[in-house]
């Protein structure tokens, strides 16, 4: 998690760029967001900045998407893996993709082919919640 400070002029600001839903209470307020979200927010240097200089190290590492797989294990998938074609992703990458971009999770018994088909159906039917 990274600490991001709001430096804009509004009395309150809600993150509508990185989709965190976090709200800042005026100039100088600091809130925690994920490293990925912080990376997006600080691109808008007139609105947000890192509250702690030490967090800049976090932003230089390759972003990862973490989730708990159906076996209960924490899995971290590099964001670069989400740019591969679905057919080249493994099961964990497919699950992370569906969760990250469509907020959809699938049970442990789904086959790889069915999971790819379900994600392709999501892609045809709705816009993703997030963009890479």
Q: How many independent structural domains does the chain possess?
A: 2
Same domain, 56 and 69: no
Q: Is residue 32 located within the same domain as residue 74?
A: no
| Predicted pLDDT at 28 | 95
Report pLDDT for 8: 94
Q: What pLDDT score was predicted for residue 34?
A: 83
pTM (global) more than 0.85: no
- CA-based radius of gyration for the chain: 17
Within a domain: residue 97?
Answer: yes
Same domain, residue pair 34 and 74: no
Q: What pLDDT is stored for residue 130 in this prediction?
A: 52
Q: Which residues of the chain have pLDDT under 50?
A: 132
d(CA 67, CA 83): 18
pLDDT at residue number 103: 86
Segments forming the whole domain that contains residue 120 = 64-125
Domain boundary among 12, 42, 60: 60
Do 70 and 20 fall into the same domain? no
pLDDT of residue 39: 86
Integer Cα distance of 125 and 36 in angstroms? 26
């Amino acid at each position: 998690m990274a600490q991001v400070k709001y430096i804009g002029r509004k009395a309150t600001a809600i993150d509508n760029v990185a989709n965190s839903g976090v709200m800042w209470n005026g100039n100088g307020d600091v809130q925690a967001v994920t490293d990925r979200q912080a990376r997006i927010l600080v691109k808008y240097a007139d609105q947000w900045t890192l509250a702690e200089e030490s967090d800049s190290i976090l932003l230089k590492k390759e972003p990862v998407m973490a989730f708990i797989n159906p076996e209960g294990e924490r899995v971290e998938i590099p964001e670069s893996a989400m740019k591969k074609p679905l057919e080249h992703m493994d099961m964990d990458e497919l699950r992370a993709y569906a969760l990250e971009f469509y907020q959809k999770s699938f049970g442990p018994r789904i086959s790889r082919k069915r999971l790819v088909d379900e994600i392709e159906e999501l892609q045809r039917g709705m816009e993703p919640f997030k963009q890479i």
